[in-house]
Amino acid sequence: MKKLFILFIATGLIAGSCRKIEVDGPTTTIDNSNNGTENVILEGRITENRTLKAQYTYKLRGLVYVTNGAVLTIEPGTKIVGESNRNGGLIVTRNAKLNADGTADKPIVFTSESSTPKRGDWAGIVLLGNAPTNASYNGQQGIGEIEGGINNSEGMGLYGGTNAADNSGILRYVRIEYAGYAFLPDKEINGLTFGGVGNQTVVDYVQVSYANDDSFEWFGGTVNCKHLISLFTLERFLMILIQIMVMQERCSLVLL
| Residue predicted with more confidence, 250 or 145 | 145
Q: How many residues does the chain have?
A: 256
pLDDT band at 127 (very low <50, low <70, confident <90, very high): very high
* Owning domain of residue 210: 29-255
**Is 20 within a domain?**
no
pLDDT tens digit string along 218-252? 999 999 999 999 888 765 444 433 343 444 444 33
**Is 17 within a domain?**
no
**Is 15 within a domain?**
no
Question: CB of 217 within 8 A of CB of 190?
Answer: yes
Of 153, 138, 146, 252, which is closest to residue 194 (Cα–Cα)? 146
Average of per-residue pLDDT across 36-54: 86
**Is 14 within a domain?**
no
**Is 188 within a domain?**
yes
pLDDT tens digit string along 16-26? 333 333 334 43
E strands, 11-61, in order: 29-30, 39-42, 45-46, 50-52, 57-60
**Is 244 within a domain?**
yes
**Is 97 within a domain?**
yes
- DSSP-derived 3-state class of residue 238: helix
**Is 233 within a domain?**
yes
Average pLDDT taken over every residue of the chain: 80
Phi/psi of residue 128, nearest 5 degrees = -120, 130
Q: How many domains does the chain fold into?
A: 1
Query: Which of these ranges, 85-89, 117-121, 124-128, has the smallest mean pLDDT?
Result: 85-89
